[in-house]
Amino acid sequence: MRIAMIGTGYVGLVSGACFADFGHDVCCIDKDGSKIDALNAGRMPIWEPGLESLVKANAERGRLTFTTDLPSGVEGAEAVFIAVGTPARRGDGHADLSFVYGAVRELAGVIKPGTAVVTKSTVPVGTGDEIEKILREEGVTDVSVASNPEFLREGAAIADFKHPDRIVVGAEDERAQHVLREIYRPLFLNRAPILFTGRRTAELTKYAANAFLAVKISFINEIADLCEAVDADVQDVARGIGLDNRIGPKFLHAGPGYGGSCFPKDTLALLQTAEKAGVDQRIVRTTVQVNDDRKASMVDRVEAALGGALAGKRIGILGLAFKPNTDDMRDAPSIPLVKALVERGAEVVAFDPVAREQAEKVLSGIEFVSSAQAAVRQADALVVVTEWDEFRALDLDKVAAAMRGKVLVDLRNVYDREEAEQAGLAYHGVGRGRRASAS
């Protein structure tokens, strides 16, 4: 099949490269000339494990091309996917659909009859209807508009795309269903469940999934607070509940609050949809509040661990990206923490294995260093913000010896309290009471 992918970011590039790997002929289109130039020169605009070799292999086979020119990119395409950004609109949190509708208007002038237009971007309920309306207004009638929300996770995006828990297709006609079934045939053969629904249902399913995961994270974060107050261990509580099949073990890691390019904006957008529909979503509304408060309060944890004063203290930060294995800094919990540390007079020295370039765009007044050891050196406190694997392997004796103070604030519960204390560090995890251990 010939596929065009409008928007070549995290989702568009990964989806395009994977579709090409399935054997389709894919053209990825983006307005950002620097991204397309980089891709045409074999350089990846984002950091995602396994992406570079996948892109190069399929580009060499001639199945994956890149362009800034939408008309030539969509020429002959049987399906045009829209994978542009849908950030939160400033002020009200509604999904900003200007990129989606902008792409649709450009498409209207060049699309051939019979094409399937498929939203892969996360879009509010009714966006497919609006796309259909715009196309009709532009004189395009014989196209099928479908919704195929994407569930991949950054950091594991290729594996998620190729082995999805499910594929959701919202289509109002047979033709769109047929096109999407053909496109996903290789996964279908691998028995990945494909769920066909109405278009509006598919649009809502994506928001419901992200909101549910956000609720799960905020739930365990509140339980962590309770664990601290009553001397219990949230890791054991999470394991104790997660082994229950009805609950499941994932997304039960207490920490500094969720961030990233999806949960914060998608929970807000769901609330906007609910408000417009006149249906309150109290659980999601509270989750947003709980998470905002949590991110804002992390600085207090560091301050308390240091005995109540941050001014003049040297704080080593390990990890800036919103999670490991990505360079994505969008809404990362590190941002409010680092900003507040600087505001309260701390001297911040930060290291992230891959996100430095992105972090430099959003954080100022701090020193970026190129190794964990450099962040540790002469620090009064060390704060683990992102749980990169390489931090798990740090020798805590050496860490303690290199530091000026001995405070370790482990916002991801990477280390064992006993081991840290044996190294001479004052350990502050999340949700791990003093008397919590079984031994």
Which sequence positions are flagged as catalytic?
Answer: 262
Single-letter amino acid, residue 342? V
CB 363 within 8 A of CB 338: yes
Q: How many CB atoms lie within 10 A of CB 75?
A: 14
Single-letter amino acid, residue 216? K
Cβ partners under 8 Å of residue 80, min gap 6: 3, 4, 5, 6, 74, 107, 111, 115, 116, 117, 118
DSSP 8-state symbol, 384: E
Closest distance of CB 363 from ligand NAD, Å = 19
DSSP 8-state symbol, 373: H
Q: Which of 26, 103, 321, 332 binds ligand NAD (CB under 6 A)?
A: 103
Select the span of 78-86, 406-414, 415-423, 427-435 touching ligand NAD (CB under 6 A): 78-86
Cβ nearer to ligand NAD, comparing 303 with 331: 331
Q: Which of 21, 30, 48, 331 binds ligand NAD (CB under 6 A)?
A: 30
Closest distance of CB 37 from ligand NAD, Å = 13
Distances (CA, A) of 158 to 55, 162, 188, 259: 11, 6, 17, 21
In terms of C-beta distances under 8 Å and separation of at least 24 residues, what long-range contacts does 10-13 make, across chains too?
10/46, 10/48, 10/154, 10/157, 10/261, 10/328, 11/83, 11/120, 11/121, 11/150, 11/152, 12/81, 12/83, 12/84, 12/120, 13/39, 13/44, 13/45, 13/46, 13/51, 13/55
3-state secondary structure of 204: helix
Q: Which of 3, 29, 329, 403 binds ligand NAD (CB under 6 A)?
A: 29
Closest distance of CB 221 from ligand NAD, Å = 21
Q: Which of 64, 74, 83, 348 binds ligand NAD (CB under 6 A)?
A: 83
Q: Which of 16, 85, 316, 431 binds ligand NAD (CB under 6 A)?
A: 85
Determine, following the binding rule CB under 6 A, whether residue 28 of this chain makes contact with ligand NAD. Answer: no
Determine, following the binding rule CB under 6 A, whether residue 12 of this chain makes contact with ligand NAD. Answer: yes
Determine, following the binding rule CB under 6 A, whether residue 35 of this chain makes contact with ligand NAD. Answer: yes
Restricted to residues 125-164, the positions that interact with ligand NAD (CB under 6 A) are 150, 152, 154
Cβ nearer to ligand NAD, comparing 261 with 334: 261
The pair phi, psi for residue 188, each rounded to 5°, is -60, -45
Cβ nearer to ligand NAD, comparing 81 with 415: 81
Determine, following the binding rule CB under 6 A, whether residue 11 of this chain makes contact with ligand NAD. Answer: yes
Q: Which of 4, 146, 252, 262 binds ligand NAD (CB under 6 A)?
A: 262
Determine, following the binding rule CB under 6 A, whether residue 9 of this chain makes contact with ligand NAD. Answer: yes
Determine, following the binding rule CB under 6 A, whether residue 102 of this chain makes contact with ligand NAD. Answer: yes
| Nearest-CB residue for ligand NAD | 9
Interface contacts to ligand NAD, rule CB under 6 A:
6-12, 29-32, 35, 83-86, 99, 102-103, 121-122, 150, 152, 154, 261-262
